[in-house]
Amino acid sequence: MESSRLPLPPGVDDRWRVSDRLGHQLIRVMRAVERAKAGKAVGPDGVERAAYVLLARLVLEGPRRSNALAESVHSDPSTVSRQVAGLVRAGLVERRPDPEDGRATLLAPTDEGLRVFEANRDRRNREISAMTAHWDEADRVRLAELLEQLAVDLEHRHHPAPLAPPEAS
């Protein structure tokens, strides 16, 4: 199955064709996710959906300073500060004294934050389970493994992709 209606440059190899197909499918997935989230910028708790990423990071990786949290999600510290303020107002995150430096504070999920995180996780997992109910379990496992590998590679990529397609052998 060809990935797009646009012809590929002459002389490209199979690896380039597969990369083109992967790129096309990733775009389709990202657009579908964007459509699903359209109009849902704020969650049922009145907190920006983007802020839930911060809550999840604190739940899964433990308390941390605001700058460390911003760095871990590859975001601007001022944006994270604004989103954290919303999480604090909603009672999902609290500021605690940093035991290593009394002048600093750590951000940590509250009990309500843990409850909200688990409720969102459960809702997401139910949706994915329903969407892939007709899949073979081995395919679900393999997709999870491949997506994890892709996420790691994307998170650690620091240089732009080559512009010219590789020549066919």
Contact 161, 15 (CB under 8 A): no
Question: Of 32 and 94, which is predicted with more confidence?
Answer: 94
Strands 93-98 and 101-109: antiparallel
pLDDT tens profile 70-104 = 998 888 999 999 999 999 999 999 999 988 888 88
So what's the pLDDT on residue 18? 87
* pLDDT averaged over every residue in the chain: 85
So what's the pLDDT on residue 9? 74
pTM: 0.75
How many CB atoms are located within 10 Å of the residue 140 CB?
Answer: 14
So what's the pLDDT on residue 6? 65
Mean pLDDT score, 7-29? 83
SS (H, E, C) the chain: CCCCCCCCCCCECHHHHHHHHHHHHHHHHHHHHHHHHCCCCECCCCCEHHHHHHHHHHHHHCCECHHHHHHHCCCCHHHHHHHHHHHHHCCCEEEEEECCEEEEEEEEECHHHHHHHHHHHHHHHHHHHHHCCCCCHHHHHHHHHHHHHHHHHHHCCCCCCCCCCCECC
So what's the pLDDT on residue 2? 45
So what's the pLDDT on residue 162? 58
Contact 47, 86 (CB under 8 A): yes
So what's the pLDDT on residue 109? 97
Q: Looking at domain 49-114, which CATH architecture does it have?
A: Orthogonal Bundle (1.10)
So what's the pLDDT on residue 1? 46
By percentage, how much of the chain surpasses pLDDT 90?
A: 52
pLDDT tens profile 74-83 = 889 999 999 9
